[in-house]
Amino acid sequence: MKRPNLETLLIHHGYEAKEYGGSLTPPLFQTSTYTFETAKQGELSFRGESNQYIYSRLGNPTVQLLEERMAVLEGGADALAFGSGMAAVSTVLLSLLKTGDHIVCSKGLYGCTYGLLEMLQERFGITHTLCDMKSENDLLHASTLNTKVVFVETPINPTMQIIDLQIVVSAAKKQGWITVVDNTFCSPYLQNPLALGCDVVLHSATKYICGHGDVVAGIAVCKTAALAECMRPMRKDTGGIMSPFDAWLLLRGLKTLAVRMDRHSANAIKVATFLKEHPAVENVYYPFSTDHPDYHIATKQMKQGAGVISFTIHGDMEKAQAVMDRLELISIAVSLGDAETLIQHPATMTHAVVPKTIREQMGIHDNLLRLSVGLEACEDIVKDLEKALG
C-alpha cells in the first residue's frame, strides 16, 4: 500500500483506535510508574529484556506515540521527546561530543544555543566556530582536526538567512561529520533535512508543532536507530524528559499542522509585501520573497516560507521599541508559531546573551524586529503594523 500523504500521517500515524476501546483521540497515560506482575518481570525489564514500561522518565505510551509520529513525519528511524527545545539541543550535543571535540555552527544561532555552546567551551573544552556556510570551502576553513558535528539553523533565527543543506551535507559526508539541523522555523511540513542527507533534526516543539502557546517541549529525530540509541542514556540521566500531558497536547497540535502552516505562510508573504512598501521600513527578511538573497535556496529545500519575518526600521533601538509599544493586536512576546501574531526585539530579548559585536556579525542589529505572523485575518495584522509604523 502506498504511504499516506504527510497531511494524513499528521493525524493517523501510529494509532489504532480499536486497540483502545474505540477512542478516537489517543489516550493520555498520566502516570509516573508502571507495575509488574512478578518480580522476575521487573528484573527482565531493568535488564532490557522486556518491552514492559518501567518508569515515565524511561518511556511512556503517550510520549512514544508522539515520537513515532515525529519520526515518520521527518523520515527518520527514531525520535526522542524532551521537556524543552534546549533540552533536545543539549542532549544531542552532549551525546555526540566529548572534551576536545569541535563544532562548526551556522553564523546565526538562537541566543540560548549560543549560550550553551559558550558554556560547553568554557567548562568542558568543546570548542565551536561560527561559519557562513556559503560553500564547502567555508566549512573546511572553519573546521579543525577535531570537528565532529556541524550544527545548522535554517532559516537562521532571527535574520532569516538560508543555509544550503546540500552544501553542508556534501562537506560533512566527505569529512565524516554528523550534521544536526534545527528545523524549528519550518516544521516537518515545510522542510525535511533528513531527506537531504542530514543526520539529526531538532525542533522546539513549543513553536509550530504545538501551535497554541501552551506547551514547552523539544524533539530530536535521528536518521538511524543507532544515533537515537546513543542519545537515550543521556536523556535518561540528565532527565530532560517530556511529560505525558505535553505529548498529548502536541499530538493534538500536529493534527492541524498542515492547515496552520499554510495559513501562517499565506499571511506572512502578504505582511512581508506590505512591510517592503512602507517608508519607515529599511529592510525585510522573508525567505519566500523573490528579492531575498537566498530565495533560490529556500524554494529548493522548503515548501513555503512559514510565518516568521524579520525587518529593520529606519532608526535606532529606541525607535524600534517605540514601534512595538504602539501595537495593539500584535503582542510583544518571544516564541513563535502561535495562533497569535507576536513581535520581539532580538538584540534585547532572545539574543541578549550574545555579545554585541558577535550579534552584529550575525546581522542582529539594534533596529531589527522579529515578527511571528499568526492566524488572524491578514488585513487586521497589516492595519496594526501600519498604525504602529506611523
Active site residues: 57, 110, 182, 207
Q: How far apart are the first and last CA of the chain?
A: 57
Tell me 17's DSSP state.
Answer: G
Angle ∠(144,222,30) on CA atoms, nearest 5: 130
Q: How far is CA 269 from the centre of its chain?
A: 21
Q: Hunting for cell 502516570 — which residue is that?
A: 31
Q: Is the dihedral of CA 223, 225, 229, 230 positive or negative?
A: negative
Write out the DSSP string of 53-97: --BTTT--HHHHHHHHHHHHHHT-SEEEEESSHHHHHHHHHHHH-
Q: Which of 149, 188, 208, 267 is nearest to 13 (CA)?
A: 188
Q: What are phi and psi of 350, to 5 degrees?
A: -65, -25
What is the CB-side half-sphere exposure of residue 138 using CA atoms within 13 A? 15
Q: Which of 264, 262, 270, 260 is nearest to 379 (CA)?
A: 270
In whole angstroms, what is the distance from residue 241 CA to residue 320 CA? 38
In whole angstroms, what is the distance from residue 172 CA to residue 180 CA? 10
